[in-house]
Structure formats: C-alpha cells, structure tokens
Amino acid sequence: MHMHLKSNTMTSRMHTYFLIQTMLLVGATTGFLFDVNDCMTGNVCECTKTMISCHNRGLIDVPHFNITGTNISIRTLDFSYNDIYTLRNGAFSVLWNLTTTSLNVFFNGNNISTIDSLCFEELKNVIVYLDLGYNSLQTIPVAISTLTHLNKLILYGNSIIYFDPNVLFRICNTLQRLVISLAKVNSWPHELHFLYNLRDLEIYNFSANMIRASDFRYMTQMPSLQTFIIQHTDLEEFPAPFCDLSSVFFLNLDFNNFTGGKDIFSACHRPLANISTLSLRYNKLEYFPDLGVAFFATNELYLSHNNIRYITDELTAMPLLKELGLDYNKLYHIPSTLASIAPNLQRLFVSNNLIIEINNDALGGLSNLSWLDLTGNPLEYIAEHAFSHNPYLTYLFIYNTKLITIPCAMSNNFNQFISVYPDQLIECDCRMKCLKNINLSKISFNDGRCLQTGISIDLFIEYVIKADKCG
C-alpha cells in the first residue's frame, strides 16, 4: 500500500513537472508572462510597469503577450530593429486595457511592407507617436487612419511612392508632425495639403530637382505649419513656391545642391517676415547669398559646410540677425563687411576656415558681439587691439590654431570676459609681458601649459609676468 501511494505521488509529481516544462516552453516560444516584478521570461523582451522593449531581439512577428499583474500602465512599446515583415490584425489584442492615454510605439528598423487594416484596433485611441522609419512601406497604410489621437508619424527611410487622400484626411485633425522620405516621388505630392494641422513637416531624399507652384500652392495655406525641413534633395535653386510660406518660422534647407551665387533667393519678390531661423548647411554655396530682402527679419542664419570664400559689400543688410554660423567654409579672413550686413550680430561662428590673422579692424562695427568661435583655423596672429571694438565679448574659443603665444589682445579688460584658450603648449616668454594687467579671474586657459617648463599658462603669467620678472 505504501508502495502504491509512493508510486502515485511520483506519478503526480512527474505530471506536474512535465506540465510546467510544457508551459515554460510555450511561454518561451509564443509569449511571456508579465508581472510587476519580472517579465523577462526567456529573455524575449524587457519590461517595466510602463514599457515593453523588444528592441533588436531577432523577432519575425509581434510576440503573443500573456500578461498578468497590477499597476501596469504601458507608455512605450519598442519593437525596433527586428525582422518583422507584416503587422497582423490582433497583434496587440492583449494590451487594450494596459496602456495609458498616450502611447509611443516604435517599429523602426524592420522590414515591414504590409500592415493589416485593423492591426492597431485595440490601441487606436491611445497611440500618439508612431515610428515606422526604415521599413519597406510604399504608402501610408490604411491602418494608420484608424488612429484617433496620432500626433507624430515617422516614415523616414521608406520607399513611399503614392498617397491615399482618404488616409491623410482621416488623420489630419490630430497629426502635427510628419517625417517622411520621398526618394521615389518625382513631383511634389500635393496630397500633403490635406494635413492642414501640421506644425512640423520634414521631407528627406526628395528626388525632383524643382518644385512647381501648381503642386505646392495649397501648402502655403496651412496656417499651423511652423517648421519646414527639406534635406538631401536634388534641388539646385531655392524653389519660388517656398516664398509663400507665410506661417513658417524655422526653414531648414541643409544637405541640398544649392550652388547659385548671391542672388539665389531673388525669386522671392516679397519678404518672408516670419522666418526667424534659416539653415543652409551642407550645400555647395561659393558666395554669401543676398538674404536681406527675403529674410530681413531672420535672427539666426547657418551657412556652415559650404564653399564660401568671400562676402561682398553689396549685400542687403539683415538688421535683426543675432547669430551667424560660417563654420567649415573657405574664408581667409573675417570680412569687415559683416558690420554692414549684420550690425547687431551677437554670436559669430567661423571655426575651421582658413583664417590666418585677425587684424585691428576685422571686428570693427560688431559692437554687440558676445561670442566668437575661431577654433580649428590656421590662426597665427591676433592684433593687439583686435577686440577693442567688442566690449561685450564674453566667449572666445581659440582651440587648435597655430598661435604659439598668448596675443596681447587678451589683455583688454572687458566686462564679464571669459576666454576659453586651447589646451596646448604655448611658448611662454617675455613677449607676453603686455599681459601684465590681464584679469586672470575672467579667463580660462583650459589647462594650457608652457612649452618650456610644462607649468600652466596662468601660473606663468601670475608668477613671471605679473611679478615683473621680465624687466
């Protein structure tokens, strides 16, 4: 009898063991348990009470979630960088009551070409951010039109070839930001004007080399559009239809093929008074363009990574310009004409040009200048009174130049002057005696040291120059 009971007990334990193993195996292959303390069963995904992250797990489909637990309120679903080809209906059926009112969903970096029309049905009222970048979509799927609160949609890196107006119309009330690639589109997709509530529109890899006014005309009637970015295109000239973007205040035209002279914006016959920031970085500009007519109210202008060599004195003034970026161009000097073009300039970035010297008049007229970046120039000489016209100069960056000593110009007693000097070796000798009255409390040499002795530059000035040991 005892043997029989023992046998039954062992049999029961074996059944329980195999049942548990079977449950674990099923859980490891089709889903995982989600509880408040640990939801990494099988290392399929990583989870917290607010996030499910299946980033880069080699998934070919959305896992089946068997979720238990309390106090779960998912705000982020991350399925980025897997091998998913299709998003199927019912993929999120278990999550319908476990999400907040604002859900961010990431499927970027997969191979998605098909999204079933009811894929997001269980989450349609909570998804506000959807990233489908770097997939294989050819249009905005119908499934997206079911999302009632979609605010941001990322489609960068797809091969979009056409748009369904019905889909755009159904998301137009809530969508405020769209990021999209148009490498397969040969003319401006006029259907985009259905998204009349857009605040931010980012277009990349547009294949056409021109934009016709007839295609673009409705875009100028989008009252909420504030940021317009169009990059990595074949555009060689500034499209005339852009001149009618009456609500945009941030215009980014980086990474295009603009090659024209100073008159490339002559197509604008009336000023774009709303544009406060204009960026034309990474183009092929050889001349500083004449912007004063079209962009007379612009505060920030970025022209870095072009081929600009000259700035003529025939350009229209930009009286409201406060910040100018001219890094990575081919300027041999700071043009004196800057004072007439931007008389109220406060921040000037001219790093990594070909500037060899700063003479006494180079910054004349820029009386409001507070920030000057000269980093990476082959700078050998700064005149003694180079900064005498700039009483508000506060930040001066002179990293990676060919200066071998501290120029006498640094001795100017400016108000609230903070100089950041290179962390390099400097020839410290009595040529620096002009720095006797320098205010070391207002200057940082960033651990720069003397070539001869290895002591810090500020110690040399303190104990040699200021101590009158140069005679």
pLDDT digit string (tens) for 146-169?
999 999 999 999 999 999 999 999
Q: Can you give the pLDDT at residue 369?
A: 96
Residue 228, token pair as written in the block: 């317009």
Distance CA(54)–CA(82), nearest Å, equals 8
Distance CA(72)–CA(99), nearest Å, equals 8
DSSP secondary structure code for residue 63 in this structure: P
Residue 149, token pair as written in the block: 């609160």
Is the pLDDT confidence value at 20 over 80? no
Strand 177-181 relative to strand 200-204, pairing: parallel
218-236 b/e (C-beta count within 10 Å ≥ 16 → b): ebbebeebbbbbbbbbebe
Distance CA(467)–CA(444), nearest Å, equals 20
User: Of 29-38, 400-409, 410-419, where does mean pLDDT reach its minimum?
Assistant: 29-38
pLDDT digit string (tens) for 40-59?
445 578 888 889 999 999 99
Contact status, residue 179 vs residue 159, Cβ threshold 8 Å:
no
CA atoms within 13 A on the CB side of 167: 14
Is the pLDDT confidence value at 389 over 70? yes
Higher per-residue pLDDT: 32 or 329: 329
Confidence of residue 69 (pLDDT cuts 50, 70, 90): low
Higher per-residue pLDDT: 395 or 137: 137
Distance CA(392)–CA(414), nearest Å, equals 7
Q: Can you give the pLDDT at residue 267?
A: 79
Confidence of residue 413 (pLDDT cuts 50, 70, 90): low
Higher per-residue pLDDT: 45 or 281: 281
Q: Please, is 468 exposed, middle or buried when counting C-beta atoms within 10 Å of its C-beta (0-12, 13-18, 19+)?
A: exposed
Instruction: State the SS3 of 295-352.
Output: CCCCCEEECCCCCCCECCCCCCCCCCCCEEECCCCCCCCCCCCHHHHCCCCCEEECCC
Distance CA(59)–CA(428), nearest Å, equals 62
Contact status, residue 286 vs residue 261, Cβ threshold 8 Å:
yes
> Pick from 91, 46, 45, 100: which is nearest to 71 by CA?
100
Higher per-residue pLDDT: 49 or 296: 296
Contact status, residue 244 vs residue 269, Cβ threshold 8 Å:
no
Neighbours of 11 (CB within 10 A): 10
Q: Can you give the pLDDT at residue 415?
A: 65
CA atoms within 13 A on the CB side of 414: 27
Strands of 111-157, DSSP E: 114-115, 127-131, 152-155
Distance CA(298)–CA(410), nearest Å, equals 32
Across residues 308-333, what is the average pLDDT?
Answer: 94
Helix, strand, or coil here: 201?
Answer: strand
User: Of 318-322, 330-334, 397-401, where does mean pLDDT reach its minimum?
Assistant: 397-401
Q: Can you give the pLDDT at residue 66?
A: 67
CA atoms within 13 A on the CB side of 257: 10
Length of the chain: 471
Q: Can you give the pLDDT at residue 68?
A: 64
Is the pLDDT confidence value at 19 over 80? no
Q: Outline where 96-217 has alpha helix (H).
A: 165-171, 213-216
Q: Can you give the pLDDT at residue 71?
A: 74
Across residues 17-27, what is the average pLDDT?
Answer: 34
> For all residues of the chain together, what is the average pLDDT?
87
DSSP 420-461: E--SSEE--SGGGGGGTT--GGGEE-TT-EETTT--BHHHHI
Residue 468, token pair as written in the block: 């009158």
Across residues 460-469, what is the average pLDDT?
Answer: 93
pLDDT digit string (tens) for 90-119?
999 888 777 788 999 999 999 999 999 999
Across residues 231-259, what is the average pLDDT?
Answer: 92
pLDDT digit string (tens) for 177-236?
999 999 999 899 999 999 999 999 999 999 888 899 999 989 988 999 999 999 999 888
**What's the pTM?**
0.87
Contact status, residue 361 vs residue 383, Cβ threshold 8 Å:
no
